[in-house]
Amino acid sequence: MGKQDKWDKVINYLKTSKRDPQKVLNLLKGNQKGKETLYDINRSSYALNIIAVIIQKLREPKNKGKTRSHIIRTWVKTEDFKNFYNLMRHEEKLTWSRDNVEKYVKQINDLWSKPNQLKWKKYFNMTGGYFILGKGSGIGKKSISNKLFKMKK
């Protein structure tokens, strides 16, 4: 018997699964150290934006007494969310659809419930759902890519 290539198992899995080859390739390319693509930036900031907006919405007086799911469902149906979703998911070639409202609500509720979002929920609760830049904000502890601000070096 011939020696199997170390990639045979991976290739066989990809061939037999219903994965989109281009999406898999994009995912693998995105994991290159030191290389940030627009997709990577959008992907990492999507969760932060969602958490911040939910906290802002929960604090609005008109939403007092309403459940988080209700607030999210109402937001997901707005033009604001439609524009946000289309902007953030443009690189993935995804567009907002009214048919997917329940899917968006579930995704956002799941994102909210993830344990790794706890620090951001705590931060945005302290800041009212906004990033506070400047001394003592804690933002300066982690470098922010110039690409996010469209700044020239």
Distance set, CA 40 to CA 79, 98, 114, 117, 145 (Å):
25, 26, 20, 18, 12
Each residue's pLDDT tens digit, 40-85: 777 778 888 899 999 999 999 999 999 999 999 999 999 999 999 9
Each residue's pLDDT tens digit, 100-123: 999 999 999 999 999 988 888 998
Q: What are phi and psi of 14, to 5 degrees?
A: -65, -35
Residue spans of the domains in the chain: they are: 37-129+141-153
